[in-house]
Amino acid sequence: MSEYRSEHVKAETKNGVVWLTLLRTDKKNALTQDMYRALTHELKQAERDSSVAAVVLTGSGDSFTAGNDLQDFLQIKELDSSAAPFEFLYTLSSLTVPLIAGVNGLAIGIGTTILLHCDLVYASSDAKFALPFVDLGLVPEAASSLLLPATCGHLRAAELLLLGNTIDAGTALSFGLLNKVVEPEQLQQQLEDSAALLASKPAKGLRATKALMKLPAEPVADRIDREAKIFIRALSSDSAREAIKSRLQRKK
């Protein structure tokens, strides 16, 4: 078996969308080094493939993921920034291909922090979220000490990171961590609908827009200038011209 493959990560491409499903249900999809390597490989492949419109990440059974498999984590002989979990996080943070998460149950530790790097996040009504890093004598990862306060404010971030409180899907929605909460039996359809909608749009436009959204803050005039340069290049592309032509024809 290649180091890029894991029996616990299922990858399939359908209609321009890469679907990644965690398949370690007996361990509530807790992540191992092999799973991180497989996920990193699939994300890099999707990023390189210009025909991919989006990536969907979800879990199986009653869990999105219970976080890191701590026993497996402790087996890493030399833990540094090149270790599989961190390579995954660097890859995740640099994606321009849109990323959709379907939280189908427990989302513990990285199961929650990964959502801060997603573009669309849907959760079943029975989902639970928790960030127990402090309780384990650890600190947050995935840039969540930066992104979580930016998403939901310092006080709510402190509630999650310092107190380690578990919150339900409704609370996560009110905190701004989710786009929508659906009933468990509706989650798959919601993911398929959103993925199909993204796949119907020009891929270059999607990726360029996401890349702009992920840039550091800058003066408004500088961002106008940056957008203008990209806009002008995009306007001359075949994909933009076809999209505009199609839109004009629909208006007739």
Q: What is the pTM of this model?
A: 0.93
């306007």: which residue's tokens?
A: 235
- Predicted confidence at residue 1, as pLDDT, reads 34
- Predicted confidence at residue 76, as pLDDT, reads 78
Which CATH code, of 3.90.226.10, 3.40.50.1360, 3.40.50.620, 3.40.50.850, is assigned to 9-199? Answer: 3.90.226.10
* 3-class DSSP state of 193: helix
Backbone conformation region of residue 127, classed left if phi is above 0, alpha if psi is from -120 to 50, else beta:
beta
Domain ranges of the chain: 9-199, 215-251
Q: Which residues does the chain have with pLDDT short of 50? A: 1-2
- How many helices (H) and strands (E) are present in the chain, helices listed first? 11, 10
- Distance between CA atoms of 179 and 56, rounded to whole angstroms? 14
* 3-class DSSP state of 84: helix
- Predicted confidence at residue 251, as pLDDT, reads 66
CA-nearest of 112, 136, 130, 131 to 167 is 130
- Predicted confidence at residue 238, as pLDDT, reads 79
Kindly report, residue by residue over 32-87, the tens digit of the pLDDT: 999 999 999 999 999 999 999 999 999 999 999 999 998 888 887 777 888 899 99
- Distance between CA atoms of 42 and 232, rounded to whole angstroms? 32
